[in-house]
Chains A and B, each alone.
Chain A
């Protein structure tokens, strides 16, 4: 248990579905991140939120829509995904300053059919 909880752990969705991934951290951090982990590729940073404000979008397609209502919660809304979007989606949190590393959740294994 890292203090970062992601739900659901597994998700299968059709290309026309709309679904959301949820991430919650209980570490008092003020920065949250979404990463995509595909087979045989490095983890790819998707979005960065600092103090609930999005500070980075790494050219992610608009079919991925993040939301950060407060510093403890992060969502990734999914719609009209493609099969190549199937991957493990990881959430992480950290402090913007101070002496702490980034903690990762266990991820949501997404399969698009």
Chain B
């Protein structure tokens, strides 16, 4: 089955700097790659997603890149703010919005 690895497990950045989280997946059939943000005491919330027919997608300060050949995808957050502090999860799936294989998560801490 699919296996998703996520790095780093923790990431500390100064406010205003950029943050990058990387994930790799094992099943070349995977075609949907969402990123979720989970704040303390809340459930995961989608922040951006990308499908296998697209190499890059951007939404304001957040961008995701996908390299199908290398089977890895990355989340980029620019101009980080304290409210970006949370746990971020990458995931992969085959033809499903909700049947997801998740990475282990990255704890992002943005210091003022």
Residues of B within 8 A of A (CB): 4, 34, 36, 41-46, 49, 89, 96-105
Contact (Cβ within 8 A) A104 B43: yes
**A102: interface (CB < 8 Å):** yes
A100 touches which of B43, B97, B100 (Cβ 8 Å): B97
Contact (Cβ within 8 A) B45 A41: no
A42 touches which of B43, B98, B99, B102 (Cβ 8 Å): B102
Contact (Cβ within 8 A) A102 B104: no
Interface of B is mostly: loop
Q: Whose C-beta in chain A lies nearest to the C-beta of B48?
A: A101
**A31: interface (CB < 8 Å):** yes
Residues of A within 8 A of B (CB): 2, 4, 6, 31-33, 40-43, 45, 48, 56, 90, 92-96, 100-107
Contact (Cβ within 8 A) A101 B49: yes
How distant is B102 from chain A, measured CB to nearest CB, in Å? Answer: 4
A2 touches which of B43, B96, B103 (Cβ 8 Å): B43
